[in-house]
Chains A and B, each alone.
Chain A
Amino acid sequence: MTTNVPAVDTHVAEPTSGRKNFLNCSSGFMSWAGTLDHKRIGLMYLVGVSIAFLCGGLFALLVRLHLWSPEGALFANADYNQIFTLHGAFMVFLFVIPAIPGSLGNMVLPLMLGAKDVALPRLNLLSFYLWCSGAVMATLAIILGGFDTGWTFYAPYSIYTDKAVVSIGLGIFLLGFSSIFTGLNFIVTVHKLRAPGLTWFRMPLFVWALYATSILQVLATPVLGITVLLVAFERLYNIGIFDPRLGGDPVLFEHFFWFYSHPAVYIMVLPAFGIVSELVSVHSRKPLFGYKLIAFSSLAIAIISFLVWGHHMFTSGQSTYAMFAFSFLTFFVAIPTAIKEFSWVATIWKGSIALNSPMLYTLAFLIIFAIGGLTGVILGALNVDIHLHDTYFVVAHFHYVMMGSIALAFFAGLHHWWPKMFGVMYNETLAKIACGIIFIGFNTTFLPQFIMGSRGMPRRYATYVPEYAPYHHASTIGAVILGLGIALMVYYLVASLFSGKRAMQNQWGGVTLDWHTPTPPPLENFDHSPSVTTEVYDYSVLDLETTRTPAS
């Protein structure tokens, strides 16, 4: 059964019923730049993170093209260092971390809670502007000579290099506080602004996931903030604590950095989990299998993720006992993660599956994340990691989770809520084709990296021995395919804004509160403050009529 076949002809151009929504209720530059509306802020984030993603993607293509030939095809070695650093830093700090909470989270969370806005709208706007200033600082850093430390900024190189580390460091500090304030806002919103009757266990799982993410954002990010500040101080007045020449210990930097950055990988992935939980249910028209398990596993992940940072440092010279403990604890992360994966598959099982584009992206996620997660477990095994550390195996692992899983879940969510946000539908056929191209391109890019990594190809090298050339060729071809797929996606999404068909009020037949408002939502979200009387994901209450009524 598909739910997206309209029963009435809804070709464009029909004048809208004239009711105002958040998009057209006011206009002019300041009505956006100064808005306190969570939906408008969400859209501004969407534009921002998309630009960052496209920049990061461009850098990625440059990296891959350079690696076409063993001597390096495009850049001098030193310039190559800058290109891959730019790619990593843009993708991690400007895209993957803020993307889902900032854009879709802002857009959907208050809707799902039945609230008029997030609890602290001014702070929300501030978060967005902090993000912008972080982006400006990153761009400034490029103008001031770039930076070549890798996205991890390891000391002591980040202290000694003559590049613009201070500028990007301050940029990351600002981005960190942007992320903290978003998290803080969501925690307060979830605690204080749930609609009457919306108990904790009636909250959609996207909300649970964002809640767990927010806890991590608030608790882990300050440590990143002070770490990048200390690196900046180190460069400004040689404080000495990360500088071995001055008695400092660079390994302490690594501890600080990973104390944040391991939880940060869950800051990145938990919102993606939330989207997938939501989508497998809606597009299979079935309540989630193991709702509470999924909710609690998010919290479990949030807690465990604070205890495993040392698995990034198995070759740093930390004590053997610490390595033991970190390796052992790392395996525990796999448990709640696997619980989720099994629950999603069980949800789809015997569901009434609608194979529309959001669902296709979701299925792609399920496959790719299985590989990404399991290779993480392989890397968590101490003895294996000694060999695989700093090889392309690690690169492939984290691209399977960050690009293949998180970015794809973001795309899935974008396709899912696109009709909700704009009241229009993109071209579904093109969407399915693009999803296929992206899936193929992605795997062609990164599967070979597992193989060459396990055969010893080190990461971050500008040149390589010719034996690895076939893998690099495959990878570069894959990257081009992936780039084309993404370009196609951008095309039909943007095109839909100008000539898309009208979407339905409830395009996919969702039953969470976000589908109980007019589409697109009015400025204050609900015409009447909603209250909740049914359990979450109870599809028996679905009013099929809303899936056939065109958006207003």
Chain B
Amino acid sequence: MSHDGHHSVVIPAPGPEFQSHTVAHHFDTPVQEFQSAKLGFWLFLATEILLFGGLFAAYFYYHQMYHETFHLGGQQLDWWLGALNTSVLLLSSWTMAMGVRSAQTSQKGKLLMYCGLTVLGAVIFLVIKFFEYKAKNEHGLIEFAHLFDGYNGATGQLSWFTDHDGVMAGVPHGHLFFAIYLTMTAIHGLHVIIGAGLIVWIMKGAAKGRFHAGYYLPVDLVGLYWHLVDLIWIFLFPLLYLVS
């Protein structure tokens, strides 16, 4: 989209293994482009937080209403697996930050390495999450095979919540805690997957030498996204696992 009579700004590559970058035609300077994308991305992150805000509001509303249910529910989660996942994500946030740093200093190899480590963190997180879900499945707290089978008004039986060990028997609406747990962690997990996908995409670009001290905007933005994913988990962990 470059037109007659309009110069286009080009950011030169620092070395032969890197590519130069052309600033989009409607920006006058690279700084303007950078700042616009940054501001836009921060606003996007705000909407993500607000989206989770609705879930957090629901959490607090029912925590207040069914105090014991949430206490007992929290006890059914493996807090040390949650803690392990928290540290995995925190560590991956650090590797991501180092990745951004490497892009800013035109260190292609290091950028690839740190991004790779971050993706590894995401995978570990998801594997641990999988085993947690599996345990819930076995105890009849979230039966994935029957997730969509519905609610039987006559028997009052919810297909995916049988609680066959009776751990939640003494409290009202035991499924509510697990419904909220599942919804929040699943939406968060989706964000982990999307984030990991974005980092892989960054690695592809990095391999081609697209990112360097003159141009590292996408790395920066994906980094921010990854920190958000981390941040949301930091709130989820105590609310869900440490509530008792």
Contact = CB atoms under 8 A, between A and B. Distances in A.
Interface of A: 36, 115-117, 119-121, 123, 180, 184-185, 187-189, 191-193, 218-219, 221-223, 225-227, 230, 233, 236-241, 243, 245-249, 252, 256, 523-524, 529
B22 interface: no
A364 to B, nearest CB: 36
A327 B188 CA distance: 37
A222 B53 CA distance: 9
Output the residue of A237, A248, A252 with the most chain B CB within 10 A: A237
B61 A252 contact: yes
A525 B137 CA distance: 59
B15 interface: no
A219 B61 contact: no
B26 A121 contact: yes
A123 B183 contact: no
Interface stretch (B83-91, B105-113, B173-181, B236-244): B173-181
Contact of B35 (A192, A238, A256, A523): A192
Contacts of B26: 115-117, 119, 121, 193, 524
Contacts of A115: 26
A413 B6 CA distance: 31
Interface stretch (B36-44, B92-100, B124-132, B162-170): B36-44
B239 to A, nearest CB: 15
B185 to A, nearest CB: 13
Interface of B: 1, 3, 6, 24-26, 28, 32, 35-37, 39-40, 43-44, 46-48, 50-55, 57-58, 61-62, 65-66, 147-148, 150-151, 153, 156, 158-160, 172-173, 175-176, 179-180, 182-183
B54 A188 contact: no
A233 B180 CA distance: 11
Nearest to A187: B43
15 contacts: A116-B25, A187-B43, A192-B32, A219-B50, A226-B55, A233-B183, A238-B151, A240-B175, A246-B158, A247-B62, A247-B66, A247-B172, A249-B65, A524-B3, A524-B26
A249 B61 contact: yes
Contact of B46 (A219, A240, A524, A529): A219
Output the residue of B6, B35, B50, B150 with the most chain A CB within 10 A: B50
Contacts of A237: 147-148, 160, 179
Contacts of A529: 28
B39 A230 contact: no
Given A237-B147, A240-B176, A252-B61, A193 B36 contact: yes
A93 B176 CA distance: 31
A524 B6 contact: yes
B176 to A, nearest CB: 5
A227 B54 contact: yes
Given A193-B36, A218-B43, A240-B175, A245 B54 contact: no
Contacts of A192: 32, 35-36, 39
A247 B176 contact: yes
A233 B160 CA distance: 13
Given A184-B44, A219-B46, A238 B39 contact: no
A223 B53 contact: yes
B39 A222 contact: no
Given A117-B26, A120-B37, A246-B151, A188 B43 contact: yes
A520 B83 CA distance: 61
Given A120-B40, A123-B40, A246-B151, A226 B51 contact: yes
A221 B40 CA distance: 16
Contacts of B159: 238
A241 B179 contact: yes
Contacts of A193: 26, 32, 36
Contacts of A238: 150-151, 158-160, 179
A22 to B, nearest CB: 12
A223 B39 contact: no
B44 A188 contact: no
Contacts of B47: 180, 184, 218-219, 221-222
Contacts of B32: 192-193
Contact of B151 (A116, A123, A187, A245): A245
Given A116-B25, A116-B26, A240 B179 contact: yes
A223 B50 contact: yes
B50 A241 contact: no
A295 B147 CA distance: 51
Output the residue of B26, B40, B159 with the most chain A CB within 10 A: B26
B112 to A, nearest CB: 26
Contacts of B48: 222
A184 B53 CA distance: 19
A221 B55 CA distance: 14
Contact of B62 (A116, A223, A241): A241
A236 B148 contact: yes
Given A191-B36, A245-B151, A524-B25, 20 more contacts: A117-B25, A117-B26, A119-B40, A180-B47, A184-B40, A184-B44, A187-B43, A188-B36, A218-B46, A218-B47, A222-B47, A222-B53, A233-B183, A237-B160, A238-B160, A238-B179, A239-B179, A247-B172, A248-B176, A256-B57
